[in-house]
Amino acid sequence: MTLIDALLEDLPDCRIIDVRLGLHWTAVVAEAGGERRCGLSAGMLPCHEHRTEPDVKLAGELERLSIRELAAFLLSENPILASIGLAAVNAVSPKPFARSKDANAEDLIAARGAKKKVVLVGHFPFVPRLRPRVGDLVVLEQNPSLGDLPAEAAPEVLPGAQVVAITAMTLINHTLEGLLTFCPRQAMVMLIGPSTPLSPRLFDFGIDILCGAEVTAIEPVLRVVSQGGNFHQVRQAGTRLVNLFRYDKGLDLDSGGSSNAR
């Protein structure tokens, strides 16, 4: 079973209420048992060109799909559809439970990466702040900035890492599972970003910490997403950061606890 198959396997029965595609974020609202929940995913803007084929063929009708049909978009090679699918998965991921904590990924990486080699897959805005807080920081990026390495360097770089933090956007471009194969068994592996599914199923694939987000105020968040808001604005509208820790790793939630072999 692939990682994405595992995410799609146990989806609960629910009704799709709303689907929004903004400039930066995609949001899906689902209802089950009278409770509405909202999932987020990083949006993937299409190229600005005239197309004979629409990017989303069922635009205006997505609410008619079942949660399984909508979440299955995550399998698509079309990044816009994959973003919708990931947001649907996040809308029905388990609620954060006891072994969770509110904290930002930057601080978690810094705590666990002190005096260690850290590899960050994806150039996050906190890179300049993080660099002096860890032993050695290597950034892999599909569109490298100054000081980054190209994503193609992953097979050479990841095996030497002690801490690995991977952007959840690798679920959208379908590179996550391949990246995990290059991570050493003793490394602390994190999946980070608001697109991260808070699903314990991901722990079965060698991920130790899930750094995601929970929408706490659906309507304000939908308005901000629809009007082109970035994540800072989405967070202010009603989103909190949530981190889930793998049970069997002996992790200390308040320190840089080490991981055991996967």
CB 221 within 8 A of CB 211: no
Between the CA of residue 134 and those of 56, 111, 238, 258, what are the distances in Å? 42, 8, 31, 15
- Report, as an integer, the average pLDDT of 167-194: 97
For 8-62, write each residue's pLDDT tens digit: 998 999 999 999 999 999 999 999 888 999 999 998 776 656 667 888 999 999 9
Q: Whole-prediction pTM value?
A: 0.91
pLDDT for res 31: 96
- Domain 100-213+241-249 class, CATH top level: alpha beta
CATH 3.40.50.720 fits 3-91, yes or no: no
Q: Where are the domains of the chain?
A: 3-91, 100-213+241-249
pLDDT for res 97: 61
Helix-, strand-, coil-residue percentages of the chain, each rounded to 5: 35, 25, 40
Return mean pLDDT, the chain.
90
- Report, as an integer, the average pLDDT of 165-191: 97
